Amino acid sequence: MSAGKILVVDDDPQIRRVMRTSLVGHKYEVIEARNGEDALTRVSAEIPDLVLLDMNMPGIDGLETCKQLRSGSDVPVIILSVRNSEKDKVAALDAGADDYITKPFGMEELLARIRAALRRAPTSPEGGPHAITTPDLAIDFDTRRIRVHGQEKRLTPKEFDLLRYLVSQAGKPVPHRELLQAVWGPDYGDEPEYLRVFINQLRKKIEPNPAKPKYILTEPWVGYRFAAV
Amino acid sequence: MTGRIRRSLRLIASPLLIALVIAFYFRAVHVNNTTVALTLLLVIFGISAAWGLLEASIASLAAVLGFNYFFLPPVGSFTIQDPQNWVALTAFLITAILANQLSARAKRRTQEAVERRREVEGLYALSQSLLLSESVRTASQDLVTRIVKILGVTAAAFFSNLTQETFRWGATESPISDAQLETRIEEPVIDRARQCAIVPVRLGGQALGNLGLTGALPSEAVLNAVAYLVAIGIERARTLETASHAEALRQSEHLKSALLDSLAHDFKTPLTSIKAAASSLLGQPRPDADRELITIIDEEADRLNRLVAEVLEMVRIEAGKLHLEKGPLDIASTVRSTLAEIKPALQGRVVDVRLQDGLPAADADSDFVQQALRQILDNALKYSRPGSPITISARAGDGRVIVSVADRGGGIEEHEQLQIFDKFFRGREHRFRTPGTGMGLAIAKGIVEAHGGKIWVTSEPGQGSVFSFSLPVHRGEIVL
């Protein structure tokens, strides 16, 4: 039984080779693509559980591939890049990536991030609601569906998990670190830029006025809070 | 000379033509007097139109005399019996004058039209040629040359306010001096007696210079048009010059960045495979000897990666390619994340952090400041005994935030304290004992200086060293 199907997208054949060997050794099924176009075809044809996407590729680059991919798929995407500035990380997350890892990386770290990306919080966290409904927002946590003004919206799995965790703690400020660990996993906690980007995207999707959020509120210096409804 | 001879010939030819007509009607063909008179009128008309008033007047006189003598009764005498003949004479003269005036006017019009056409053609040629020059200097030189050629003046000079130079072409002796040309004027100064003119060259209220012309001057309207064309030509050249300069600069900057990016990519890609392969092997159960060897590969891949990163960083700093994204920077959190980052290298050493209360935010790029701090901490760790304490402190003063890292290492001798921030410099004692590239402190210095700050060291050999750097305080609203 495979632990999941992973699409490795990189123009460097040696990197694809070492990834294939290592990931297969950890019971993952591996498919490969050597460029962005190839990756998009493979995603729609083979429906992988996760995409490892190189940022710097000839032709359409990783960011553009990620954006195009997001228009039709919620598959978790981890961007691999030699750049490690915060600006590059934010750009990758903004393009729809779920995580970002700097090359070169240790395999243990990559495996941990793959597990985190594939991990789904249980459908309803303990004590959390199964659904909430307000005049303009309806979230069904069991079916992972969300409607804003009656219109169905797509959330990526990480966006959905983030929203669900905030809602399960509705009315309470959730610190950055707690939120990162609840959604991404125990190895996370020092990536406040992840939260900035994902909260921003969530607000764009569910808030009537994203500039003046009424559901997802910022708690300065602490974290975020979902307004009790 | 030939003109005068031709004139004399025409003066003789006019009465001869009249004589010919009279001889023809008197000897060869006999017709009535009216026909003779009309024929003479036509000839006078023709002479007047073709040659001029004087020729026509002489012809008129000859015609009156001849007509009177040979055709009017009493034939063979100059007496005029019939007053009608006075009328004929007057008619001849009036015809001559009228015809002459008409033709002179027509000629003048034609002449004017030709001149206008020449001027317009000249202006057009000038405008065309001015569009070819690509820099202000070549445009200025070109335009004086072309003005002389196209307008047919003897000399042209242009003083450019932009380059503060005078460009001249044509006759070397010019009545227009440099000082005259350089004086700012509002209206054209035209001296037709001395055949010279100075016209201000302006565009949209901006004075670009003065244009001086000597020789056969065109009309004032044309002079103004020329000045306007010159202004457009110069302005166009200037725009082109600035644009191409900016473009060249942009392209070379872009090339540098692209080159650095591709270098980083090309170095790090093979390292990624090595690191991934080694760490993957380490993740599985192995015999001890294998594990030891693979660990060496893994660690050395890390070391190579750090080296590549440092070399590229140094190249970036030296190429002036640090893209700082400055903002309010909280020193406390920078210190915290830097310590978290180098935790493995600390190997349990105690770092004492003492930050002044109410420390203002620095105006800096957090990634880069963290990198500089890391380099300084790395340095302190490397050059002090394991287990010896390290202190990080920060205080504000004089519009700056000053961060210091103190160690209890061997210290730095005075003569080495200045060199220590130089690229590739290694202390005498440590050259072969302590690993490193000698780039760490040079990178820290490059980063701090790119922020407009300073870096320095105070040290007492045997007691330890204190490395400090200053950053400007962030002014304005602090955004959280």
pLDDT, block means (10 residues), chain B with 480 residues: 80 89 86 85 84 82 84 74 70 77 83 84 78 75 83 87 84 79 85 88 85 86 85 84 80 75 84 93 89 91 87 80 84 89 83 89 90 91 86 90 91 81 69 67 91 91 90 70
Structure tokens at B203: 């565009």
Q: Which residue in the set B268, B337, B366 is minimally distant from A104, CB to CB?
A: B268
Contact yes or no for A7/A33 (Cβ under 8 A): yes
What is the arrangement of strands in the sheet containing B165-170, beginning at the earlier edge strand? Answer: B165-170, B155-160, B206-214, B196-203, B189-191
Note which residues in 15-54 of chain A have CB less than 8 A from chain B.
15, 17-19, 21-22, 25
Measure the CA–CA gap between A57 and A40, rounded to whole angstroms.
14
> B271 to chain A, minimum CA–CA distance in Å?
6
Measure the CA–CA gap between B2 and B432, rounded to whole angstroms.
103
- Residue A58 touches partner B, C-beta closer than 8 Å: no
Element (H, E) at A166: helix A157-168
Supply the pLDDT for residue B412: 84
Q: Which of A216, A226, A206, A209 is nearest to A129 (CA)?
A: A226
Structure tokens at B313: 């960083």
Judged by CB atoms closer than 8 Å, whether chains meet at B273 and A17 is answered as: yes
Measure the CA–CA gap between B326 and B321, rounded to whole angstroms.
15
Contact yes or no for A66/A57 (Cβ under 8 A): no
Which amino acid, residue B104? A
Sort strands A151-152 and A174-175 into parallel, antiparallel or unpaired: unpaired
Residue with tokens 């012809």: B59
Q: What pLDDT digit, counting tens, does each position of A129-171 carry?
A: 778 888 888 888 878 788 888 888 888 888 888 998 998 888 8
Element (H, E) at B180: helix B178-182
Residue with tokens 């001395």: B194
Whole-number CA gyration radius for chain B: 49
Residues (pLDDT < 50) of chain A are 123-124
Q: Which of B42, B239, B40 is nearest to B135 (CA)?
A: B239
Judged by CB atoms closer than 8 Å, whether chains meet at A103 and B366 is answered as: no
Measure the CA–CA gap between B212 and B190, rounded to whole angstroms.
10
Residues of A in contact with B302 (CB under 8 A): 104
Burial class (CB in 10 A: 0-12, 13-18, 19+), B399: exposed
Q: Which of B208, B194, B190, B200 is nearest to B226 (CA)?
A: B200
Largest CA distance in chain B: 156
* Cα-based distances in Å from B474 to A87, B330, B372, B398: 20, 10, 18, 12
Measure the CA–CA gap between A160 and B71, rounded to whole angstroms.
127
Cβ partners under 8 Å of residue A69, min gap 6: A39, A40, A43, A51, A75, A77, A96
Structure tokens at A26: 């950890």
Structure tokens at A130: 């199964």
Which amino acid, residue A88? D
Element (H, E) at A152: strand A151-152
Whole-number CA gyration radius for chain A: 18
Sort strands A5-9 and A29-33 into parallel, antiparallel or unpaired: parallel
Q: Which of B128, B447, B410, B161 is nearest to B317 (CA)?
A: B447
Q: Which residue in the set A21, A104, A108 is minimally distant from B272, CB to CB?
A: A104
Cα B215 vs. chain centroid, distance in angstroms? 32
Residues of B in contact with A104 (CB under 8 A): 268, 271-272, 274-276, 301-302, 305
Residue with tokens 């000629």: B107
Residue of B nearest to A220 (CA): B480
- Residue A64 touches partner B, C-beta closer than 8 Å: no
- Residue A220 touches partner B, C-beta closer than 8 Å: yes
Q: Which residue in the set B275, B325, B366 is minimally distant from A106, CB to CB?
A: B275
Judged by CB atoms closer than 8 Å, whether chains meet at A85 and B367 is answered as: yes
Contact yes or no for A61/A38 (Cβ under 8 A): no
Contact yes or no for B368/B446 (Cβ under 8 A): no
Residues of B in contact with A18 (CB under 8 A): 273, 276-277, 280
- Residue B276 touches partner A, C-beta closer than 8 Å: yes
Residue with tokens 């959330």: A155
Cβ partners under 8 Å of residue B242, min gap 6: none
Judged by CB atoms closer than 8 Å, whether chains meet at B480 and A12 is answered as: no
Contact yes or no for B235/B203 (Cβ under 8 A): yes
Instruction: Select from A103, A108, A219, A224 the residue whose CB has the most chain B CBs within 10 Å, as the one to mutate to test that interface.
Output: A103
Sort strands B165-170 and A131-133 into parallel, antiparallel or unpaired: unpaired
* Cα-based distances in Å from A49 to A19, B77, B259, B276: 16, 134, 36, 21
Residue B353, φ and ψ in degrees, nearest 5: -105, 120
User: Helices A13-25 and B220-282: crossing angle, nearest 10°?
Assistant: 30
Element (H, E) at A50: strand A50-54
Q: Which of B314, B356, B321 is nearest to B335 (CA)?
A: B356
Q: Which of B212, B241, B206, B207 is nearest to B226 (CA)?
A: B212
**Residue A100: how many other CB atoms lie within 10 Å:** 23
Measure the CA–CA gap between B198 and B158, rounded to whole angstroms.
9
Residue with tokens 């990519």: B265
Torsion angle in degrees (nearest 10) through CA of B169, B172, B173, B179: 60
Measure the CA–CA gap between A146 and B33, rounded to whole angstroms.
120
- Residue B277 touches partner A, C-beta closer than 8 Å: yes
Tell me the CA end-to-end span of chain A in Å, nearest whole number: 43
Supply the pLDDT for residue A80: 95
Cis peptide before B74 (omega within 30 of 0): yes
Q: Which of A19, A37, A41, A155 is nearest to A98 (CA)?
A: A155
Residues of B in contact with A56 (CB under 8 A): 261, 265
Element (H, E) at A160: helix A157-168
Which own/partner pairs from B246-253 qualify as long-range (CB within 8 Å, at least 24 positions apart)?
Answer: B253/B321
Q: Which residue in the set B265, B275, B337 is minimally distant from A190, CB to CB?
A: B337
Q: What pLDDT digit, counting tens, does each position of A48-68 carry?
A: 999 999 998 888 999 999 999
Element (H, E) at B214: strand B206-214
If you count them, how many residues does chain B have?
480
* Cα-based distances in Å from B226 to B51, B163, B168, B381: 37, 20, 16, 75
Structure tokens at B311: 């070399």
Supply the pLDDT for residue B236: 83
Which amino acid, residue B449? E
